[in-house]
Structure 1
Amino acid sequence: MKLKILSTRWKNIIAILQNEHHDDVGIEKVLRLFLAASHFLFPGVYFKQLYALKGDRNLEIFTDTFVVFKLLLPAFVLYNGWHSYDWVVLLVIWLMIETLLYVPTLIFASDLFNPPRSYRRSMLLLLINYFEIVLDFAVIYACCNDFNHPFTHWFDSIYFSFSTSASLGLGDYYPNSTLSKFVVSFQSVTFFIYVVLFINIFTNKVEHKGYFSK
């Protein structure tokens, strides 16, 4: 059987390295190579490889399941108080980084990737990714819990994460240490880029039919 997913990812790196589709140099090439190679550091591509051998439909079902799993995992961690375990928090962060890098890879370093069957489906998955990252940051906040007063309920960190991602700044919680301030700042910038750049690009790809058609 052909290693369809893994071989495509590897060929994509070679194509970027040899400028087969884009004549880029310097920091652009470094960024594109990093994004293309980053897939091999995370579990998603290997699971996709297993299901790709069973057909495209099974691959799509797995992708949907994996995305939903990554959404529910941080919520489950918070509800059960597992954010006190370092390995659990590291697992959540690892999967969050995979999500954060996946979309920019599609935009900047997908020379040999096939377009999706449906951009509407991609938009839906992107929305789920958005909420996943919010919950992932909530796990980090609950783990650190370095704010003006501690979180007393498992939903408090989720509330703060949503407030930060929406740039509300309600003021009932605010970070105390330099590290927590950095994490909050990083989340704010991340979601600004996520919404303005990524969602805008995918939205422009959606063909409007039916109610929104001209």
Structure 2
Amino acid sequence: MLQYCKMRLVQARELLLIAGWRGLMRDIFYLNRVAVPVEIALDALRPVTDFTRPADEAVLELNGELLEAGRLVYRFQSRYLKARTYLGKGYRGFALVKGNTVVGDIWCADSRPGPGADNHPDEAWLGIQSRAGEAYTFDMFVDPAHRGGNVAAALQNGSLHLLKKRGVTKAYGFFWADNVPALWVHRTLRWRELKRVRATRLLLTKKLHVTEHSAS
């Protein structure tokens, strides 16, 4: 619990530096914000070569050894603390790494035995449910200093290909309808949009508000 509180405080401080007070308040407080749940079959992914990156960049799976040995560098402390917390819960993490610097990361909950085997809490308010052999992806972040140039698409597509190699057949996720870059990335990778939902959040509380129409 202490580590979680530290992570949230550091995250708030860093978000304030990145996005200002308006961005911070938008992250911790919103009313009827529209979320777009999505799904994708991993046998129909775009080739990794569609989003070619420089030779010193690669998408890899994160683990405790990489973090504890200091072999990877996070520019934002909150992402490092999140990585340790998520790995402790049994979630999988993937990162786009340039040299030894983490440019961006993304996380997923799947049906592996042990810690983290349960469905992610987001799934309930999104109205989705991943089953055995499926995964829910969440919390993708790209360092602002590296955004643009298909970095987000390369990270997400690369991580989905790694999930496929590990036996996952389908993935779920969501993006906020007012987040234009996220919308572009998901549509570029050909995620299928599901019924939209509205969410309300007061500080750390998030809940489903009302179901929207199906996306076309």
Q: What TM-score do the two structures reach when normalised by structure 2?
A: 0.27
Q: Which has the higher helix share?
A: 1
Relative contact order: is structure 1 or structure 2 higher (C-alpha 8 Å, sep ≥ 6)?
Answer: 2
Q: What TM-score do the two structures reach when normalised by structure 1?
A: 0.27
Rg: which structure is higher? 1
Q: Which has the higher strand share?
A: 2
